[in-house]
Amino acid sequence: MDDLIKTFHIDWKLLIAQIINFGIVVVVLGVFALKPLIKMMKEREEKISDGIKHAEEMEEKIKEVAKLKEEEIKQGRKEAQVLIAQAEKKAEDLRQEKIKKTITEIEKMAIDARGRIREERDEMIKSVKDELGALIATALNRVMSNVISEKTHTQVIDDVIKDLEKEAITK
């Protein structure tokens, strides 16, 4: 061993001093560099861990918000369908009401038209009767002026008019 120490020129005093210096450097580095570095790394690890937890919480909240949004959309669609159904029902009711009103007006117009036709027909029949009565009276007057009396003449005219009225009523 002595040969080895002489060959490599190892000085025990210097070696012990270097070991002590190395120990001091290790202790100083451990206290002033390693502990703060480890502390800083733990803090950084905690921040990263907190960030990951926060990101996971935010992701859960985003999922909840998406679910709420989807539920709101579904609810809105249901409400829209209800409103559309109500509007369609109101439109159908209004259409049916207008159809009934139109039918009622048409029926009323038909009844009025029938009444006017009856009135015109009655007026025409009366007019024809009057003219026919006058023609018959004139014809009888000319034909029978010498044969029958005035009273008989009036009686014949009234009978002809009554017969014509009966025929008109039965038709």
Render pLDDT for 82-110 as a digit per residue (tens, 0 to 9): 999 999 999 999 999 999 999 999 999 99
- Contact between 163 and 129 (Cβ < 8 Å): no
pLDDT category at 147 given cuts 50, 70, 90 is: low
Q: Is the pLDDT of residue 40 over 70?
A: yes
Task: Work out the number of other CB atoms within 10 angstroms of the CB of residue 34.
Answer: 13
DSSP 32: I
Q: Can you tell me whether residue 131 is helix, strand or coil?
A: helix
- Contact between 127 and 148 (Cβ < 8 Å): no
Q: Is the pLDDT of residue 157 over 70?
A: yes
Q: Is the pLDDT of residue 144 over 70?
A: no
Q: Which residues contact 132 (CB under 8 A, 6 or more apart)?
A: 161, 164
pLDDT of the residue at 154: 77
d(CA 5, CA 19): 17
Answer with the residue of higher pLDDT: 45 or 163. Answer: 45
d(CA 98, CA 100): 5
- Contact between 132 and 141 (Cβ < 8 Å): no
pLDDT of the residue at 146: 58
Percent share of the chain, pLDDT over 70? 89
Mean predicted lDDT score pLDDT of the chain:
86
pLDDT category at 133 given cuts 50, 70, 90 is: confident
Q: Is the pLDDT of residue 12 over 60?
A: yes
Mean pLDDT of 123-142: 77
Cα angle, residue 29 at apex, residues 27 and 33 outer, rounded to 5° = 135
Q: Is the pLDDT of residue 47 over 80?
A: yes
pLDDT of the residue at 53: 96
DSSP 52: H
Q: Where are the alpha helices (DSSP H) in the chain?
A: 2-8, 12-29, 35-144, 150-170
Short-list 129, 130, 136, CA closest to 153: 136
